[in-house]
Structure 1
């Protein structure tokens, strides 16, 4: 690239040399994600991956794409960009794992007002960390400088992943049965959904983001809100590999419980949750109090402390919990059950069947 320079393009606001520097800085982070199957390094016109199909009778590719949303504004205000990439990966891999698919690789797309190589590398370091947590490879991406369209400090981040699953092991709504128990995997906080409401509640542009708060157990508002989304790939794979007949999985993202849980349910069945069994993280109590938000709207917007809901047969519940605890989910617990009904999701305080 030593002869690649355009003074005319630079005068228009696009520094291609900054782009090259950014690629060099991010290579060390990308290298951490290399797994068997990666054929090409970054910098080519396409990312190449050769999946290991041994033991898979009928491979099915499962893809997922998402962005970080307006949580990025918080990263910009705090000038902390090294975790936002974890959110981007999480929003994609947590979706495909709901089908039982093991993520293979990830690609990202960064649109930025002004290409600052160090900032871009910091963003990508988070993407790489998310890929490491999910066990997939970062095999490519794109950084696009948008002068005149975006302010110099603005950027947006999106990406997609591709996973693989054997056709007869796909998790879909056909497996769910009345009497299945619902196990909740705790979240790290707001994750990456509902931030338009969060920003309004706290008037985020003028909020004190750095002072520790008693309501947040000594964390600052910025620290609590910027906490990266948990990645649930390894715990779910541990269940599958451990012989658990996983009937359903729901990633609790935008739309909260009321929108996401019904996506895994067949007609005629609904999810019942014991409200007392659901964790309510301090950040959600603060959001509801400051915003005067009704209970229904909270559960229809946020994960409320539960980032993933898993449906398993009642007789396998104890075994499933043991596997999850060993897989790094010590707070996983039975929080609900599947019952007849057509409300989608209901809450109460009735004792659960286990």
Structure 2
């Protein structure tokens, strides 16, 4: 053919991507912390470790995405909070092992780069990093024409934290009689949205602009609320109190996540009605005729983080959480597993 083709003719605008990097650099600067070397734009992010105060330093890492909650952002054309979700899903997973988050990287892929949308997304990532006290040190923005639908994208994140080996929270010291303390979520967080969308859009025929009296706001306003980041709360707890186990209540809900940190010889009892359940969960359960156990293994039901502590320390932990502005309740206890028990999780 006579015309000289360029990458832009194929749908990839290199100049726009280069300009976006400059905007992202400014966002990343707001997240800088001790250890960051250089700035965004190199082939890899650099971070200098200071382990002088640790006996046996251990790196902890996690990777995750936002899932189909992104569909809500697309429908609302609201992109400045899903970055917070992305950071939260990664840093909460490393924080529950006692690690302090150090740095974060993101991956954003879309069919056609829209500068305003990408900037809003990265602003959210930056805000999440500020909340988690970790640095945004790199990432990748991929323009992939023909691969994604118009105005849609996908996100993935990667976080690294540091903990001293003797201070890893691994649940190994959990015993029957230990108390299970639930810490409030901000709502749905970033799990169960395939079921949420089926109930709200397919069953009820609602839109993100529909006002829902039970919620006191539009459906979209409720669903887009970002995931809570618990890393600082966790650091304050493990520094001063005997926290034997921590669980991030994410995919799998209350039923499947707490048991992940409980020794095999133990089970748990969860006391129904022992904490405040936000209205969104009752709304979804009633509208979708969802079984109680299905709710508990799909959603966080108002509990975003769980701490397992000795009974004699439970009140001190509750006082500390309340003093820092967290809502928390004793929601159950660790039990001795019955011989041939079919389930290690009991709802009572």
2-side partners of 1:7 and 1:134: how far apart?
A: 45
- Equivalence for 1:108: 106
**Under a length normalisation based on structure 2, what TM-score does the superposition of the two structures give?**
0.95
By how many angstroms is 1:284 displaced? 0.6
Match of 1:301 in 2: 298
Alpha-carbon offset, residue 174 of structure 1:
0.9
Q: CA deviation at 1:328?
A: 2.9
Note if 1:170 corresponds to 2:175.
Answer: no
- 1:178 is paired with a residue whose SS is coil
CA deviations 1:182-229 (Å, max 9, x no partner) are: 11111111110111111111126963212432200x121101111000
**Is contact 1:63–1:163 with CA below 8 Å preserved after alignment?**
yes
Q: CA deviation at 1:333?
A: 1.8
Q: Deviations over 1:273-326 (max 9, x none)?
A: 111113211111111111111111000100000011110111111211122122
SS in 1 for 2:37: coil
Q: Please say which of residues 62-71 and 272-281 is displaced more in the overlay.
A: 272-281
1:3 is matched with none
Tell me whether 1:10 sits opposite 2:8 in the alignment.
yes
Aligned equivalent of 2:201: 203
8 A Cα contact 2:171 2:246, kept in partner: no
Q: Is it true that 1:262 corresponds to 2:259 in the alignment?
A: yes
Q: SS state of the match for residue 312, structure 2?
A: helix
Q: CA deviation at 1:7?
A: 6.0
Aligned to 1:314: 311
8 A Cα contact 1:258 1:299, kept in partner: yes
- Cα offsets for 1:216-265 (capped at 9, x unmatched): 0x1211011110000111111111122x1110011111111221111001
**Which region of structure 1 is more displaced relative to structure 2, 56-65 or 264-273?**
264-273
Q: Which runs of 4+ in 1 moved over 3 A?
A: none
User: Which of 220, 223, 234 is equivalent to 2:221?
Assistant: 223
Deviations 1:138-189 (A, max 9, x none): 0000000110111231100110100010111111131211111111111111
Question: Partner of 1:338 in structure 2?
Answer: 334
How many angstroms apart in 1 are the aligned matches of 2:196 and 2:249? 17
Residue of 67, 70, 77 corresponding to 2:68: 70
TM-score with structure 1 setting the length: 0.93
Q: Distance in 2 between matches of 1:328 and 1:16?
A: 46
Count of residues paired in the alignment: 340
Aligned to 2:47: 49
Number of the residue aligned with 1:351: none
Q: Please give the secondary structure, in 1, of the residue aligned with 2:214.
A: helix
- The separation in 1 between residues aligned to 2:312 and 2:224, in whole angstroms, is 38
